[in-house]
């Protein structure tokens, strides 16, 4: 079953430099997404289904914010390359391309869909944001906001899942990693 498969892969910790995408997020949707490079996409657990996830995100060593993440081919735009794009639920004063984005994926919301209009896509994303905000207030999810992954960018302890460009790792210390779905 799909949800069982997802539960085995979460939480997933990853880190990478923010790269340019197609420039649609802000301009067409009004919802910017910080795109990860291919190296991070390729380091996703191979059987993690595409879809919309939620969790926590941090730019460089800044504050940790709630986030929603789209993983896949964006069927509405028919992308040819799989992407991983994070919308951080926070207003930033400026863009942060080339910064290091660290995320912890904690839960799954839905699969990627095609939509008959841009407005329908935007409404779906806004529902995802509302769902993420709610779920991340749960006691078990809040713990991850304070995870050492966000304060310890240089050293890895635990199972290393990706090393691009900094170390991304799974750290099971002190947290029940299977308690989220």
Q: Does 85 bind ligand FMN (CB under 6 A)?
A: yes
- Cβ count within 10 A of residue 159: 10
Q: Is 134 in the site for ligand ADP (CB under 6 A)?
A: no
Tokens of 23: 């420039």
How many whole angstroms separate alpha carbon 177 and alpha carbon 174?
9
Beta-bridge partner residues of 9: none
Tell me which DSSP letter residue 19 carries. B
Binding track over 151-180 against ligand ADP, x by CB under 6 A: ------------------------------
Residue 124 tokens, joined: 């779906």
Q: Which residues contact 36 (CB under 8 A, 6 or more apart)?
A: 14, 16, 18, 19, 83, 84, 85, 86, 101
- Spatial distance between the Cα atoms of 92 and 60, rounded to a whole number of angstroms: 13
Site map 135..164 versus ligand FMN, x via CB under 6 A: ------------------------------
Can you tell me which of 35, 74, 156, 180 binds Mg ion, judged by CB under 5 A? Answer: 35
* Closest CB to Mg ion among residues 10, 101: 101
Q: Is 85 a catalytic residue?
A: yes
Options 42, 63, 80, 85, the catalytic residue? 85
Near ligand FMN by CB under 6 A: residue from 43, 58, 74, 102: 74
Closer of 38 and 112 to ligand FMN (Cβ): 112
Q: 151 is in the binding site of which of ligand ADP, ligand FMN, Mg ion, none (Cβ under 5 to 8 A by kind)?
A: none
Q: Can you say how many angstroms the Cα of residue 143 is from the centroid of all Cα atoms in its chain?
A: 17
Which of 11, 16, 25, 107 lies at the binding interface for ligand ADP (CB under 6 A)? 25
Q: Catalytic positions, please?
A: 85
């Amino acid at each position: 079953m799909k949800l069982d498969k997802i539960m085995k892969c979460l939480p997933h910790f990853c880190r990478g430099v923010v790269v340019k995408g197609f420039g649609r997020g802000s301009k067409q949707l009004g919802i910017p997404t910080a795109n990860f490079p291919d190296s991070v996409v390729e380091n996703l657990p191979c059987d993690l289904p595409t879809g919309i996830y939620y969790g926590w995100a941090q730019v460089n060593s800044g504050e940790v914010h709630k986030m929603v993440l789209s993983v896949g081919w964006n069927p509405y735009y028919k992308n040819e390359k799989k992407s991983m794009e994070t919308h951080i639920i926070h207003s930033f004063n400026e863009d942060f391309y080339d910064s290091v984005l660290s995320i912890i994926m904690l839960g799954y919301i839905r699969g990627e869909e095609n939509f008959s209009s841009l407005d329908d896509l935007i409404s779906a994303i806004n529902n995802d944001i509302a769902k993420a905000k709610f779920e991340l207030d749960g006691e078990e999810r809040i713990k991850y906001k304070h995870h050492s992954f966000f304060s310890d960018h240089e050293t890895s302890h635990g199972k290393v899942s990706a090393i691009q460009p900094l170390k991304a790792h799974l750290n099971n210390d002190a947290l029940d990693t299977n308690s989220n779905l």
